[in-house]
Amino acid sequence: SQQGEEDPQALSIQEGENATMNCSYKTSINNLQWYRQNSGRGLVHLILIRSNEREKHSGRLRVTLDTSKKSSSLLITASRAADTASYFCATDAIVAADSWGKLQFGAGTQVVVTP
Amino acid sequence: NAGVTQTPKFQVLKTGQSMTLQCAQDMNHNSMYWYRQDPGMGLRLIYYSASEGTTDKGEVPNGYNVSRLNKREFSLRLESAAPSQTSVYFCASSEVRGQGHGYTFGSGTRLTVV
């Protein structure tokens, strides 16, 4: 079963608007990561937030983590057509001593940014 | 450019045929992974290698075998392909397990089994 689940499944916005997507997960984590995938390409790492962190920024990206609610959000500010992609959250879950580093991915949020 | 290289990019197999997907990274990463991506399913871990000389099963290992040939290379073998193995396969690597590093992904192998 999937550890992380993104919401919404799809998002359509206009250039300049903000895009927000959420990720919920089931078990305790070491860290949570967000990735972007352009159509027909591999995944690209965007940002990592550790379990003891609440918020991180990277350029136009802002990620929050609420471990009490087992949820995270990714905000893309002032979106551009080039931000059109699928976005995945991935969790590094605490399962056992040897479970570190094995990421579990959600099904993703498809974001379309129209000019 | 540094990164993860996968070959081939596309492959069509007949049911029962075998093939090996190749993956190589030039970032001196210790850990390597094989995932498959199916529509609406996200990525599912097939096998991983925490370090050179070790491999272990992931979430969906049945029908696959792997070899960590050296620190750079991690191959995935389908011994007898089945239509259920039609998927896009991604190889990834990361610096050190458990230290909270992001993965670097290859561009994928699109496999169709007919």
Q: Measured between CB atoms, does B51 come within 8 Å of chain A? A: no
Q: What's the rounded mean pLDDT across residues B78-104?
A: 88
What pLDDT score was predicted for residue A97? 59
Per-residue tokens: B29? 């990463």
Low-confidence ranges of chain A (pLDDT < 50): 1
Residues near B61 by beta carbon (within 8 Å), at least 6 away in sequence: B46, B47
Tell me how far apart the alpha carbons of residues A35 and B31 are, in angstroms, rounded to a whole number: 18
What pLDDT score was predicted for residue A102? 79
Cβ pair A107:B42 closer than 8 A: yes
Backbone angles phi, psi at B83, to 5 degrees: -55, -30
What pLDDT score was predicted for residue B18? 97
Residue whose structure tokens are 């550890």 = A3
Q: What's the rounded mean pLDDT across residues B107-114?
A: 97
Per-residue tokens: A49? 């937030």
**Coil, strand or helix at B8:** coil
Output the DSSP codes for A20-48. EEEEEESS-EEEEEEEEE-TTS-EEEEEE
Among A28-32, B75-79, B84-88, name the one with the lowest average pLDDT.
Answer: A28-32
What's the Cα-to-Cα distance from B21 to each of A104, B36, B71, B111, rounded to whole Å? 22, 12, 16, 10
What pLDDT score was predicted for residue A1? 47
Please choose, from the candidates A29, A27, A35, A73, the residue with its C-alpha nearest in 3D space to the C-alpha of residue A52: A29
What pLDDT score was predicted for residue B95? 84
Residue B27 CB coordination number (10 Å): 12
Tell me how far apart the alpha carbons of residues B52 and B71 are, in angstroms, rounded to a whole number: 5
**Cβ-based contacts of B4 with chain A (< 8 Å):** 42
Which H or E run includes A82?
Answer: none
Inter-residue contact B3 to B104 (CB < 8 Å): yes
What pLDDT score was predicted for residue B106? 97
Looking at the complex, report in whole angstroms how far the Cα of residue B85 sits from the nearest Cα belonging to chain A. 18
Give the single-character DSSP code of B35: E
Q: Measured between CB atoms, does A43 come within 8 Å of chain B? A: yes
Beta bridge partners of B94: B31
Q: Quickly state the pLDDT bin for B51 (edges 50, 70, 90).
A: confident
**Coil, strand or helix at A74:** strand
Tell me how far apart the alpha carbons of residues B31 and B33 are, in angstroms, rounded to a whole number: 7
Cβ pair A42:B4 closer than 8 A: yes
**Cβ-based contacts of A50 with chain B (< 8 Å):** 100
What pLDDT score was predicted for residue B73? 97
Give the single-character DSSP code of B88: E
What's the Cα-to-Cα distance from B97 to each of A16, B12, B57, B66, B93, rounded to whole Å? 38, 34, 16, 19, 10
